[in-house]
Amino acid sequence: MTPPLHMSLAGQTVDVLRELVLTGEIPPGARVNEVELAQRLGISRGPLREAIRHLASEGLLVLAPHRGASVPTADAADVQALFELRAALECAAAELAASRRTDADVVRLRAVCEESRRAYSAGERFPYRLDLAFHQSLLDAARSPRIAEQVRLVQQRVVLLRSGLRDDPPHQQASLDDHDALVTAIAAGDPSRASDVMRKHLARVCAQMLTSLG
Amino acid sequence: MTPPLHMSLAGQTVDVLRELVLTGEIPPGARVNEVELAQRLGISRGPLREAIRHLASEGLLVLAPHRGASVPTADAADVQALFELRAALECAAAELAASRRTDADVVRLRAVCEESRRAYSAGERFPYRLDLAFHQSLLDAARSPRIAEQVRLVQQRVVLLRSGLRDDPPHQQASLDDHDALVTAIAAGDPSRASDVMRKHLARVCAQMLTSLG
DNA sequence: ACGATGTTAACTGTCGACAGTTGACAGCGC
DNA sequence: GCGCTGTCAACTGTCGACAGTTAACATCGT
């Protein structure tokens, strides 16, 4: 079974290349050689170029004229700017979620929180997968497709930043608490509190990230 | 004098094609024929395709597999979703502007407001140019490059929606008042009020837009 | 006359090759 | 020995042509 079989070569290449970047197989700072990567993927340069430009539009690659594409490296200012954007989007999403959530949404959010705690207690090394799941569930509850789309793009960039960063257990503990508080505010239908909790949550994550690469 | 002479053909084509779409020369719903447009622009299909994909990533074109690109047509739900995103971004920008504004920022914002009123009183048909200038000045004051970038993309889509919409004088009057109130809140360094005014301003603009195409 | 089916034309998706530019290396002058 | 300049290789940017798919049209059957 190959779901993306109907996609164009360029479309498939977008997914493949995205994975190569997000997994760090092409590390930050590394340049992308079109001919080399093209024959490595067994395709021509045309579709590969389209995939590269697409990933560049998502911020996972940066283009320099006549110098090709490379994986971006971020400094403190970049992280700050990125998290300001993320806060703008996710705080709004939290507000909308608090306004529009259904009982089913709350159930789902609670389930993700519980599973996160279970995984954390079980000593799982990367419950980050569940962190993404939580934020995704929140976006579902917000029912704002455009905001959801932009959040996904920002989260991707955050994942890129995280690649090659050690995990921080006490920080993860705090995040679990934040998530619970968020669900409580959303379940209570309190937009402003949900927004506030989200803002503080992201401020903490941002601060942790800044110290992790200072 | 040709400023974009150093840019790649694809880069120039992005600007040209963007203008063709935003001015309505290629109207919403129209499809884009690659070979025809390519020879019309005097270039090959390669750079044109890259430009098309780029504009698609900005939301100014939509791609259908094996059916090419076309200018998107928006329904009420699209407008709603777009303005939810715009509100998330611009409310955050208003907050940041209120926190970070300098005296020079306030002077600039006041100047734009005054010029808008002058143009409106003089009976200028499209002070929309000055509306964009105002929001741009606000973004400058916010000093958040990523948010500013996203706002510009959203505003572009709004411009596309406006293309082929009649102007509404009483609505413009209200917008001028909104802008003044925004500057006042920003000058006072009151983020929550700035955000609130912005939210109401955008709600009004959105509502006006929805009625204009109902 | 209406619907289903085969055919065809147009357009997109993909490929390989050429041209132009960039950055680096080697050679020369000081 | 150090700096400058000319040359060269590598890579990107661009082009034209081929292959595959889609949708519309015409044809055939009922």
Instruction: Express each pLDDT in B25-81 by its tens digit.
Output: 999 999 999 999 999 999 999 999 999 999 999 999 999 999 999 999 999 999 999
Instruction: For residues A202 and A87, give the distance between their C-alpha atoms in angstroms, rounded to a whole number.
Output: 7
Q: How many CA atoms lie within 13 A of B8 on its CB side?
A: 15
- Do B146 and B180 belong together in one domain? yes
One DSSP character per residue, A120-147 reads HHTT-S-THHHHHHHHHHHHHHHT-HHH
- Do B86 and B190 belong together in one domain? yes
Helix (H) or strand (E) holding B193: helix B191-212
Among all chains, which residue has been given the structure tokens 């409106």? B120
Among all chains, which residue has been given the structure tokens 């760090």? A24
B81–A144 C-beta distance less than 8 A: yes
Q: Is B89 on the interface with A (CB under 8 A)?
A: yes
Q: What is the DSSP letter of B65?
A: T
**φ and ψ at residue B8, rounded to 5 degrees:** -70, 160
- Do B160 and B104 belong together in one domain? yes
Q: Is B84 on the interface with A (CB under 8 A)?
A: yes
Among A29, A50, A70, which residue terminates a domain? Answer: A70
Predicted pLDDT of residue B14: 98
A87–B88 C-beta distance less than 8 A: no
Nucleotide nearest to A45 (CA to C1'): C15
- Do A58 and A99 belong together in one domain? no
Question: Between residues A149 and A5, which one has the greater pLDDT?
Answer: A149
- Do A7 and A44 belong together in one domain? yes
- Do B66 and B82 belong together in one domain? no
Predicted pLDDT of residue A4: 43
- Do A65 and A80 belong together in one domain? no
Question: How does pLDDT run across A100-117, given as a tens digit for each residue?
Answer: 999 999 999 999 999 999
- Do B65 and B82 belong together in one domain? no
Predicted pLDDT of residue A128: 84
Chain A with chain B: Cβ pairs closer than 8 A? 67
One-letter amino acid of A59: G
Q: Is A50 on the interface with B (CB under 8 A)?
A: yes
Among all chains, which residue has been given the structure tokens 């916010």? B142
Among B19, B38, B70, which residue terminates a domain? Answer: B70
Instruction: For residues A146 and B84, give the distance between their C-alpha atoms in angstroms, rounded to a whole number.
Output: 8
Residues of B in contact with A53 (CB under 8 A): 50, 53-54
- By the 10 Å C-beta count (0-12 exposed, 13-18 middle, 19+ buried), B171 is classed as middle
The separation, in Å, between residue B29 CA and nucleotide C5 C1' comes to 31
Spell out the residues 6+ positions from residue A20 whose beta carbon is closer than 8 angstroms to its own.
A26
Question: How does pLDDT run across B142-172, given as a tens digit for each residue?
Answer: 999 999 999 999 999 999 999 867 777 778 8
Predicted pLDDT of residue A3: 40
**Residue in A closest to B149 by C-alpha:** A85
- Do B107 and B186 belong together in one domain? yes
What is the domain range of residue A30? Answer: 3-70
**Residue in B closest to A9 by C-alpha:** B65
Nucleotide nearest to B67 (CA to C1'): C12
Quick one: which of A200, A212, A163, A214 has its CA closest to A83?
Answer: A200
- Do A123 and A174 belong together in one domain? yes
Q: Give chain B's domain count.
A: 2
Four-CA torsion B150, B156, B157, B158, nearest 10 degrees: 110
Mean per-residue pLDDT of chain A? 93
Instruction: For residues A166 and A188, give the distance between their C-alpha atoms in angstroms, rounded to a whole number.
Output: 35
**φ and ψ at residue A169, rounded to 5 degrees:** -50, -50
Question: How does pLDDT run across B5-24, given as a tens digit for each residue?
Answer: 468 999 999 999 999 999 99
Q: Is A87 on the interface with B (CB under 8 A)?
A: yes
- Do B97 and B137 belong together in one domain? yes
Return positions of chain C under 7 A from a protein CB: 11-17, 20-23
Question: How does pLDDT run across A30-86, given as a tens digit for each residue?
Answer: 999 999 999 999 999 999 999 999 999 999 999 999 999 999 999 999 999 999 999
Q: In what order do the strands lie in the sheet with A68-70?
A: A31-32, A68-70, A62-64
Q: In what order do the strands lie in the sheet with B68-70?
A: B31-32, B68-70, B62-64
Residues of B in contact with A57 (CB under 8 A): 54, 57-58
Question: Between residues B128 and A192, which one has the greater pLDDT?
Answer: A192
**Residue in A closest to B8 by C-alpha:** A65
- Do A35 and A104 belong together in one domain? no
One DSSP character per residue, chain A reads --GGGGS-HHHHHHHHHHHHHHTTSS-TT-EE-HHHHHHHHTS-HHHHHHHHHHHHHTTSSEEETTTEEE-----HHHHHHHHHHHHHHHHHHHHHHHHH--HHHHHHHHHHHHHHHHHHHTT-S-THHHHHHHHHHHHHHHT-HHHHHHHHHHHHHHHHHHTT----HHHHHHHHHHHHHHHHHHHTT-HHHHHHHHHHHHHHHHHHHHHHT-
Distance of residue A57 Cα from the nearest chain B Cα, in angstroms? 7
In percent, the amount of chain A with pLDDT more than 90 equals 85
Q: Is A144 on the interface with B (CB under 8 A)?
A: yes
Q: Is B65 on the interface with A (CB under 8 A)?
A: yes
Return positions of chain D under 7 A from a protein CB: 11-17, 20-23
CB–CB of A144/A96 below 8 Å? Answer: yes
Specify the CATH number for the domain of residue A196.
Answer: 1.20.120.530
Among B54, B70, B86, which residue terminates a domain? Answer: B70
Residues of A in contact with B144 (CB under 8 A): 81, 84-85
Instruction: For residues A54 and A16, give the distance between their C-alpha atoms in angstroms, rounded to a whole number.
Output: 12
- Judged against a pLDDT cut of 50, whether residue B1 lies above it is answered with no
Residues of A in contact with B150 (CB under 8 A): 85, 150
| Average pLDDT over every residue of A163-172 | 77
Q: Is A147 on the interface with B (CB under 8 A)?
A: yes
Residues around strand C, C-beta < 7 Å: A 8-10, 43-47, 50, 65-67; B 31-36, 45-46, 49, 63, 65-69
Nucleotide nearest to A67 (CA to C1'): D12
The separation, in Å, between residue A34 CA and nucleotide D13 C1' comes to 12
Specify the CATH number for the domain of residue A40.
Answer: 1.10.10.10
